[in-house]
Structure formats: C-alpha cells, structure tokens
Chains A and B, each alone.
Chain A
Amino acid sequence: MAQDAGASPAAEETAAKAGEEARSTANEEAPFTLMGYLAQHGLHNINNEAWNLYGQFTYISSWKPSFQAPYTNANGSINSLVPDYERAFTYTFTFFFGLRLWPGGEAYFVPEIIAERPFSNLRGIGGAIQDFELQKTGGETPQLYHSRLFLRQTIELGGEPLVVPSGQMHLGSVVDSRRIVITVGNYSDLDIFDQNHVVGDPRQTFFDMAFMTHASWDFPADARGYSYGATVELYWDDWALRFGRLAPPQNPNGLPVNLHIWQFYGDALELEHDHVLFGQPGAIRILGYRNYEDIGQFSDAIAAYQANPAENAASCGSRYNYGSGNFTAPDMCWVRKPNQKLGIGINIEQFVSKDIGFFLRAMYSDGKSEVDAFDPADRDFSVGAVVKGAPWGRPLDVTGIGFGMSWISSVHAQYLAMGGVDGFVGDGRLSGPGGEGIFEAFYSVNFFRALWLAGDYQFLWHPGFNTARGPVNIFGAKVHAEF
C-alpha cells in the first residue's frame, strides 16, 4: 500500500509550505494534537497522512432555576418543560480514526461513549435545546456505540492544489480545487452539509442546539443523530454542489432506521460559494431538503379527531405514539402515512479578521408534518459572532454571542393548542403561540493547549412555542479536552 498519496510536485510544494507554517505556530496558537506531536518528532507525515487518530472528551452541565408557568402538562399531555429547578448533563468520549486505503480513498471509524440526563426527559423545548450533545435515546448509564463508519473517495479533476489539514475525519492531504467527493456509509448529514467555519465545532463554541444547524431542518437520522446513506459533492474552485440521501428512522425520533432508502429517505441539496471580502474568507450556502417519510400531518390528525373523537392521543393503543394521556387531543398515531416534507435555508459566514467572525442562518420548512428526526421547529433564524482570544493575548480562548428564534406553522400551532404532542413539545394547551427565542453568551478558557473550561448563559423565552410559559434562565459549564 502506498503511503504517498501520489501528489504532484505543485501539490507537494503546497503541502510543504503548509507544514512549515504549521510548525512555526505550533507552540503558540495551535491546540495540542497527538498527530501534531508525532509529526514534530518525525514520526508522522501530517501533510500527507496514511492514517490519523483524534479524540475528544466533553462534559456539559446545565442548571435551570424555576420559572413562571401558569400550567404544565395540561389535560394529560406530557411534553412540557418542567418549571422546577433541574440539572442536566452530558458527557461524551469520542475517538476519530482515519485510514487511507488507496489514492483518494479513505475510511473513517468513530466510536463514542455517551451518558446524559436532559431537562424534563428532553421535553418542552423546540428549536433551542440547551445542550447540543443530548440524544433522544440516551441515559445516565454510559453507552458505547459507533457514530460513524464510512468510506470517502476523492476523484481529482484538476485546478489549483488545496491543502486539507489533518483533523477529525480528515486525513492531511493536498487535493485539487476541482474534484468529486463521494461519501458512503454511516455518518451524519451535519458532517457534510450546513458547515459553518465561524461556529466551527460546537464542542468548542456554543452549547445550544439552535446554533449547531438550522433548527427547522429535519435531517434524516436515528435517535442519536446519525444514519446510513451516500453523498456526492462536486467542488469547482470557489463553488461546491452537494447532494445526499440518508435513511430516516422507522418511527419518528426512534433509534431503528428504515434502510429501504429508495422507499423512504431524506434528501439534501446544497450550493456553496466561498469568497474573500476585504481580505477575509467567507461563504454562502443555500440548502434545500426533501424528506419522504412515514410521518403524520397536523391537518390530517386534526381532521381525524374532529371526525371521530375516539381517535385521540390517549387511545393510540399499539400504534406508535409518545405516550400522551390526553383524551381530548388529536394525535399523529392515527394518521401516519408516506408524506413529503420540504424546506429551504441559507447559511452565511464571514470573518472580519483572523480571529473574529459572524454567522447567520435562516430556514423555512413547509410546517405541514411532525418532526421525524431532529426538532419540531418549522422556521428558524440565528445570528451571532465568535471571537478567538488572540487580541487579548489568549489565542486559544474562544468567546461568542448568539441570538436565535424558531417558529411553528399555524396548523402546527392549532394542533398543539388542541392538546396534541409533537416529538418534544405540547403543553396540553397553547394560550398564545409564538416564536421560541434563545440568547446565548459563552467564554471558553484554554489550558495547556488541550483543555478548555467554558462558562455559558442562555436566556430562553417562550419554551415549546408557548408565550404563556417562561422565560427560562439556563446556566452551563463545559469541560472539553482534545488530542
């Protein structure tokens, strides 16, 4: 097996320059990595890797004092955020292993351990869940699983040489600016689509899920956020076009997936343009999605209940349901069938200096059907800024502020007002439907180039899209280590 990726002389020169730059700043601004350490001691070619290994540990703890709520879980519904004091946590331990198989061919395997306790059994918050690590099937007992196992093939088409730096799920290499990249296997849509280099890895920045991706993108995934499928990307200098299809869950928000990917699927199509504005990099991405899944539509559930009140949330029997005990509410269990779900969104990132960047995301989904895999928002908007600490002499510190809003459609609000539950929201009543909002500020302090301690504050209003409840103050702390 060749260790060398067979790079051209120009590519080798580009890689050598990149390596030299990396080495010159290694002790000043670069986080510690095992691969960097091995490279510095001549034991690893980090510019043209045959393999790499990265790892991370993240512990997030969140506290929620009591908040104002005139009602909670009304009429037997079950999806309210509990208004009492609560503490939640997650911890994850992940290994990222990459191996070059042949020129352009790579394999990645990512085992992970997670343990968690959410607020209120992960109920009551729509698009702004306070900890992006929370999974729908987690528990306090640590669970070992594989989050990713996939193959990636790059087909070079010419253009300028580009350096791909070594990283998690990226082997250090030089690729053509014009290329096709094919990914097949077990991974997450978020590994490829809707990237944002200002927000970067959420384990380093924001805690809230509202800043991880579009709140209203119901990307296909199992209960942990991963699935099986394939994605094809075409890179042409400053442009990129991506299309991917992943398998949806067998039942909404469940762990088992439906591998009949020609029958039920979640498709994503993204167009990206990278630019340089006033000497600083930026990008604009347009993302459209179309899911075809076994899901219920709000109008069908309402109509079914109004035609026959016996088809209510508490009478689902063996039909898949969320366990609501509300006899006077409609429920999706009566109306699930193959349905289409559509959405389109924009993602903008712009650096204004080497250390300061701004981001904006917005998406509009059709709002006709229930959440299948992510969260129940139908429209979303988020904006914010992230600043690295170089201006005040702490280059590996990170701070940021963000503002996010998410909304539900009018028929979705009608369903919730009638007492229906939808994945994670549904208070049994909806006195005043409104957008759910989040403001977040964090500061992450680096120690020893490999350890970060972060403090976080989130202000959440209208939890579960219900203007009668909240607001909620959420305090968070994070310990994060990488190698």
Chain B
Amino acid sequence: MLSFSRNFALAFAVLLLILSARAEAQQQALGFAIERLYTSAPGGGWFVMDSLDLHGGLGGAVSMTSGYERDALRITEGSQALSVVSTRAFLDIGGAVTYDRWRVYVNLDLPLYTGGHSGTIGGYTFTAPLVNLALNPDTLSDARVGVDVRLIGGPESGFRLAAGAQLIIPSGNRNDYDTDATYRAMFRILFAGDSGFFTYAGQLGVHVRPLNNYPTPQSPHGSELLFGVAGGAKLPMGAMDFVVGPEFYGATAFEAFFGTTSTAFEGLLTLRLEGTADDGPQLRFKLGVGGGIQPDFGAPQWRIVFAIEVFNHNQKH
C-alpha cells in the first residue's frame, strides 16, 4: 500500500513537472501594426509609389482609400497553420497641401473590421483580434504625417527624384493589430518618370521601427528596408488618363536581411483613371488587386483596394 502511494506521488510529481515545463514554453504573442500597404501621399497617383508630378501654386489633394485583405498574419509550423489575422478591412483618409515641388500630408486610418483565430502554434499563444464598428466606433489607428520634396526633374520629365520623410504617431490598440504602440518613422528616396506611354515610379527607404518581437513568428524584427517599383502604360482618354500597371513593394528586416520569414513582398495590379487639367480640381479613381508574392511578415494572401482622390494643381499666380 505504501509502495503504491509512493509511486503515485512520484508519477504525479513528474506529471506536474512536465505540465509546468510546457506552460513555460508557450509564450503569449503580442500584437503589432500588421498593415503593410503604406499608401502613397494623397495625390501621389499609385497606391504605394508616387508619381511625383507636383507642380503649380498652392494646391492640395484629398484621398479616401479602402481595402480588404485576407490572411495578413498566418503562422505556419510544419503542417500546422493558424490565421491569427484572417480578415482585415480599413478606410484611410488623407489630405495634402502642395506648393510647387513640395508636399505636406497626413493620413488617418480607420480600421473597419479585423478578425482572426486564436490558438497556440510554434510555442506561442496568439489571441485573435476583433475589431468592428460596433465595438470600436471611433478608432483611429496609427496616424502618418509626412513631407516630400522633388529634388530633380520636372512634373513631366523622364526622370524625377524626390526625398520624403514620415512620422508615424501611435494610436489604437496592439491587441487589435492596429499599432506597435511606439513612434515610427520612414525615410525614403522616391523616383518616377514618364516616357511616351510608359510611366514608372519606385522607392527605396528605411522604416525606423523600434519594436522587435523576435523570435515570435511573423512579428516585427526591428527596423526595415523598404523597397518598391511600379510601371505601366499611361493612355490618354480625352481630358483624362488611364494608367494600368503592376506595383511591387515590400519590406525586409535589417536584422534578418531578406530572410524567408522576415520579408514581406507584395504585388498589386493597379488601374487608375485620372483628370489631367492643370487648374481646377481633378478626380482620380484607383483600383488594385493583388497579394503576397511572399505572404509573410504581414503581406496578405490577397487584397483588393479602392481609392478616390481629388487633387488640384493651382496655377502659380
């Protein structure tokens, strides 16, 4: 009897040890700013790249961009997969003031819906976000304030070069995958040009990102290199131009340069119809469909984006 009790106690103690060891190995993963579509400044033309056709006197632009994406945060471990952020919809409202080759702008992001699945994978416990207009009737996530200046070239030249800086002001809730809850910054070299029917744009920059959640899978890994290029045909249609072409853009963490799980790379087929008059307000409609070429690190499986812009290059007086 005594021997049975001792064996039972021993087995119970071993079981407790195993369970506590497993509990220690499972860490709670924290949320962060999941969105990888860093929209261009209002009036910029492309969804991500910037056509840099700034000109004229005091003018400006207003933009409204809405997007829907699937599986922005999908963790895989062997044959297991967990879609922590499976659905996201947002509305981005932006405004810019332009003068000659300068632009100052602000973008505010309204998360409309974010949902996903909770679970444990790879030793981490993920809690799915739940954001909708009823629960979060007035949330604004990270605000972006920026300035761009064209340094080389004119508004229609074959090569234009610009520099831009953005400050990202934290707002929202990390648990909702809205924000890193830290200030961030972006510094970019932007280039663009037009040659006949061909139009192109691109960027290379640094995303200063203090948050480093390594080794949590798919989480921010510190500051990142930003890159992107777009190109397509610009076809005149009376008083408007129709532009169609792909945009490729992404980010990779400096600490794991172009690593498989530390790089986001997306493609977007962009169509836009825009007014071309040099004075008076012009409209631009944009539609983009695409997704992650490498759907990791925040790049979704697929996304669709729509935008309306009103812009005005007032003639200088």
Contacts and interface: CB of A to CB of B under 8 A. Distances in A.
Interface stretch (A120-128, A151-159, A253-261, A285-293): A253-261
A390 interface: no
Contact of B137 (A1, A42, A50, A228): A228
Contacts of A228: 133, 137
B133 A224 contact: no
B278 interface: no
Contacts of B135: 256
Interface stretch (B138-146, B190-198, B203-211, B219-227): B138-146
A53 B60 CA distance: 12
Contact of A111 (B58, B134, B137, B140): B140
A259 B134 contact: yes
Interface string A169-191: 00000000000000000100000
B311 to A, nearest CB: 11
Contacts of B136: 255-256
Interface in B22-78: 58, 62
Nearest to B169: A144
Interface in B160-177: 169, 171
B280 interface: yes
Interface string B98-135: 00000000001010000000000000000000000111
B137 A257 contact: yes
A258 B171 contact: no
A258 B138 contact: no
A143 B133 contact: no
B289 interface: no
Contact of A99 (B62, B138, B140): B62
A144 B281 contact: no
Interface in A200-250: 222, 224, 226-228, 250
B134 A258 contact: yes
Nearest to A227: B137
Interface string A417-429: 0000000000000
Interface in B268-317: 280-281, 283, 310, 314, 317
Interface residues of B, number: 23
Contacts of A258: 134
A64 to B, nearest CB: 29
Interface residues of A, number: 29
Contacts of A250: 134
Given A1-B281, A143-B171, A222-B138, A259 B108 contact: no
B246 interface: no
A258 B135 CA distance: 8
Contact of B62 (A51, A143, A146, A222): A51
A147 B138 contact: yes
Contacts of A224: 138
A145 B95 CA distance: 17
A160 to B, nearest CB: 30
A144 B143 CA distance: 9
B134 A146 contact: no
Contacts of B140: 111, 144-146
A97 interface: yes
Given A111-B108, A146-B108, A228-B133, 9 more contacts: A1-B283, A43-B314, A97-B62, A99-B62, A109-B93, A144-B171, A146-B140, A186-B137, A257-B137
